[in-house]
Every structure is written in structure tokens, then in C-alpha cells.
Structure 1
């Protein structure tokens, strides 16, 4: 296992912990070399072997879970899915949940020594379902956060596509923060600055670019659409109910009341999977950021039940 030396990405944790009245845990960046040579990266929080693994949504990265992890106070592994954060991009741009799950399984074989409580939000939730269906030995329980297969995600992703289809590189991070805030993304400026810092990198030419591949693919898709070519399908559409039906581990859906999963979607989930729990919380789609304390309590309860 390779451990990164640069820990500047963790400079925000003390202030976040202070606001929660929590103590920031030890945190380190780890990486795993996949069979095809790509790297999968993750953050390991706390001491001791993790029993909880977190999978983020499209366009995010492991740091989206920071506040939830602080509120939880348990050892946790937060993964950067392929094409996001510090993980390698895929040359084939295949970010379907079943494809992503293969990478996660390979890394968990190295990073963990026991089945995990997998908590996945949006794309991460469908990736978690694919992982549970194919590698049940790695999954002790699965919590799916604000996503179901086949859900209409056109409202949120459409706004994000507009955001990411703009310039893919910037002279400074301040330029990107200004653009994000002008389009209604982020909260306060300090919060937006944190999000931008943790989701961008400095290229060799000094320009700032998004870390995740989706922003670059969105720009390409927009250009293809303008040229009359057919746009590629969203990776969220490639996962189905089959993976969830094959999941033998305890299963929970967390529905965000101001998110993408409607009341009807949640009812359909419960109808198809009567053994699953469905819990509704007052949050937006990124529950881990807008209701981290509530989500951490749900995660802790699921962990204690194992």
C-alpha cells in the first residue's frame, strides 16, 4: 500500500471538527494499483481496521464525506471512485456502477480484512449494489443514499452538466469559485472555496482543472450534441434492480426529502425489496453534506447492528 506524503488536503478538518464539537481523527491518503496499472485512491480516517467504506456520487470525491466522518467518530475508508479525486481516469470513460464495483472490490481485498458496511450516495449507491451482488463476501450491509435504479435524475444532473460543460480549466481557483457561486452551487464562499480546492488540481502549465473526468466528458458531450452526434448515456442509467435483488446483506435506502428520490420512488423500492428499510431525512441529494449528523447516526446504527 502506498501512502501519500502531501496532507494539505486535510487542512480543513480541524475547523470542521471544531464546528461539530468533535476531535479530528488521524487521516491518510492510500492508493492501490489495479491490475491494468491504474490507481484507485482513498482516505483512511481513524485508527484500527475500517468496518465502514464510503462511496461518493458522480462528480464528487472522498472528501464529500468529511463532515459525516467527523460526526461518526469511527474508523472509515472513503474511496475516490475511478475518474474522481486522486483515482485514475478510465481511457474508455466507462463509469457504470458495475465497472466501478470491479475496481472497488480489487482495492478492498487489500485495504480491508473484514466485510464492510458499504454506504454509497447516488452513483456510489448503485456501485455499492453492484459490489454486493458480485462480491457478497466484502459487504456486511449496504446503505444506499438518495438513488434508485432508473430514477429520473434530469433536474440535478442537467444543472451540473451546464456547470461542467463550461470552461474545463481556469487561471485561478477564485475564478472557478466565482462561476460556481454565480450558478447557485455551493453555500457560503468559504464552503465553496473548500469544495473547489478539494475537487481541482494544478496542471503542469499552472492552469486549474477539475480532478474528476465527468467535467471534461460533459464538455465533450456538449460539443458532440452541437455537432449532431449522439450523446453518451449517463452512468447512473446502467445499473438495474437486478443488483439490489441479488444483494443478500441487510439493505437500507436513505431518501432525501429534497433530493432525487421521490416518495413514489421510495415506495417502488420498498415494493421490490420488501426486506429493505427505507428512511427519509430532511436533506438535499448530497445528504452527507446537508445532513451529516443525521446520516452519521444512521450509519452508526447500521454498524452496531452487524
Structure 2
């Protein structure tokens, strides 16, 4: 039986939507402090769009969206996720992550990007656009605003990851994801778990991303897994300063069943009056629930050729 790797799923995903299998390669660079930053480069031409995933996800969350989009792109693994190094200080907040994204854009792109960020990636994208507008042609923020209520949807994710840190098999992780209503279909959940986990030398399976280990450590220290403490830093209201300073065209994509309420969206526009708000009939992970719709929306708000 052929060995499964991170690109083994792409032919079937492409065939399912009638698209050719694209060229995708993993790229890595070493940051000044020795950490590794990793990502996926889609296509042979220089990227036109760069995508940043949410907390607890990785660059592969965009696979089906990018198959629909059909454009050269760069999907990054944010620090602490995927194949990028964990941070020793566990500081996974937008303004700390933004300089690493800037380094990636300077290294791997040749033109200002349409920058698409989901959740934590959206807040990070705002920090990038605010600090380096020369690198960002347009910003698309998917289902996140600074300061949203962390006792709602974000707390569910914390509870999901605040379980054991290692498992006997990936099948156990798939069952856990499905029991929390995450991952969509079983096939999609299996694919997501493969991309988001690794097999240790002892044969046990663990999450790749640091968030799961931090959440479990908090519970072991006596914290209630339903409390929002672990996500407060990520959702800090200081992110509004970045949103207000974005000068490039800005779009907020809200999932009807996602984290962003109508009031949150109104506040977003109040803080950034030039921003537009679009809505998809999805939950928080719009890129996985309606990748075709999100790809179409990206093309509509940011014509990319």
C-alpha cells in the first residue's frame, strides 16, 4: 500500500470538484531566532494570494478553497502550528505573529498580496496590513473580530483541545472531533486529523499544534476547560487598533453560525468605516464548510485574474 503523505489527498479532492491536481510544494525558512516557518506554495507562478489559518489549524485547511480558487497562492503554517516551530513563550497573538508573516511575504512573494486570514489568522492579517501596507493589496478577514465573546464558540475549541495530549491512533482523534461536531464528514475529519497530528517515535499520536498542549496543561493545573482564559489573549480588544489602521481595502466575511455576531460586525464597520461585510451560510470554519463559496467571494472582492 502506498505511503500516505500530506499531498496524498489532493488528487481525490481535486477530482471531486472537477479540477486538475495542482502543483503544491512545502517551503520552509529559518527565522533569525532559529525557529522554522513553513508553508505551502500552490502553483508555479509567484503567489497572488496568501492565506493564514486559525488557531489549532494549519495551512491545509485552505486546500479545497484553493482548488476552487485556482490561482498561485501561499498558505502559511502560523508559528506553533503545522510544520512551523512552537514558540517557547507561547505568545500566539496577532502582533507577535505578524513579523513572521512579514518575513514570509518578503521571502516568498513578489507583489502585494490579497491576504486572507481566518480567525487568529484574520487578526494576524490585520496586524500585518496595519504595519506593512506595502505588502498587502487587500485584506479579507474570515469570521473573527477583536474582542468577541470568548465564552461562546472559542470556549468550545478550548474544551475540545483540553483532552489527552496523546492517543493510541488517529481514529481516536477522528471520533473526538466528530463528537464535538467538528470536521464535517468523516472523510473530511480523517483528512483534517492527518494534517493536524503526528506519530511520535513511541507510536502514540499527538496534535501538531501547541494550542492543544497548552489547553491540556491549563486543565491539569486546575483550570476549568469551559472557561475562556486560554483564548482571551488571542481575542484581545487591542486588535481594534490594527483594524482601524488598515488602509488597504478590507472585507469581513461572517459565517451565519460562526463566532461573529451581527453586533460584532457592526462594531467592525464602526472601527473601519471603509470595510464591507459579507455573509456565508456557514459556521466558523467557512473555508471547510463552503470552500467554493469562499473562493467565489474572494474572487469577487479581490479580482485576481
Partner of 2:282: 283
- Which ranges of structure 2 fall in alignment gaps of 5 or more residues? none
CA separation in 2, counterparts of 1:284 and 1:59? 16
Q: String of CA shifts for 1:170-222, please: whole Å, max 9, x gaps.
A: 11111221222233322222221111101001112221110000000000111
Give yes or no for contact 1:97–1:235 (8 Å, CA) kept in 2: no
TM score, norm. by length of structure 1? 0.93
Structure 1 contact 126–147 (Cα < 8 Å) conserved: yes
Is the aligned partner of 1:249 residue 2:248? yes
2:69 is the alignment partner of 1:83:
no
CA RMSD of aligned residues (A): 1.9
Instruction: Give yes or no for the alignment of 1:237 onto 2:227.
Output: no
Deviates more, 1:167-176 or 1:236-245: 236-245
Match of 1:198 among 190, 195, 198: 195
In structure 2, how many angstroms separate the alpha carbons of the residues matched to 1:121 and 1:80? 12
Query: For the Cα contact (< 8 Å) 2:154–2:259, is it kept in 1?
Result: no
Asked if the contact 1:224–1:231 (Cα under 8 Å) also holds between the matched residues in 2, the reply is no
- Under a length normalisation based on structure 2, what TM-score does the superposition of the two structures give? 0.93
Q: Please, which runs of 5 or more residues in structure 1 have no aligned partner?
A: 1-5
How far 1:281 moved relative to its partner?
Answer: 1.3
Match of 1:269 in 2: 268
Is the 8 Å Cα contact of residues 199 and 210 (structure 1) preserved in structure 2? yes
Query: Does 1:189 pair with 2:186?
Result: yes
Quote how far apart the aligned CAs of 1:165 are: 1.1
Segment of structure 1 superposing worse, 25-34 or 175-184: 175-184
Say whether 1:130 aligns with 2:127.
yes
SS at match of 2:193: helix
Please name the residue that 1:298 is paired with: 297
Number of residue-to-residue matches in the alignment: 299
Deviates more, 1:176-185 or 1:83-92: 176-185
Asked if 1 retains the 8 angstrom alpha-carbon contact of 2:79 and 2:85, the reply is: yes
Shift of 1:287: 0.6
Looking at structure 1, the residues matched to 189 and 103 of structure 2 have their Cα atoms a distance apart, in angstroms, of: 33
The answer to which of 165-174 and 87-96 deviates more is 165-174
1:200-254 Cα offsets, whole Å, 9 max, x none, are: 0111222111000000000011122349xx9555342234211011111111111
Q: Report matched runs for 1:32-43 at 5 Å.
A: 32-43=29-40
Shift of 1:159: 1.9
Q: Does 1:155 align with 2:152?
A: yes
Distance apart, 1:305 and its partner CA: 6.9
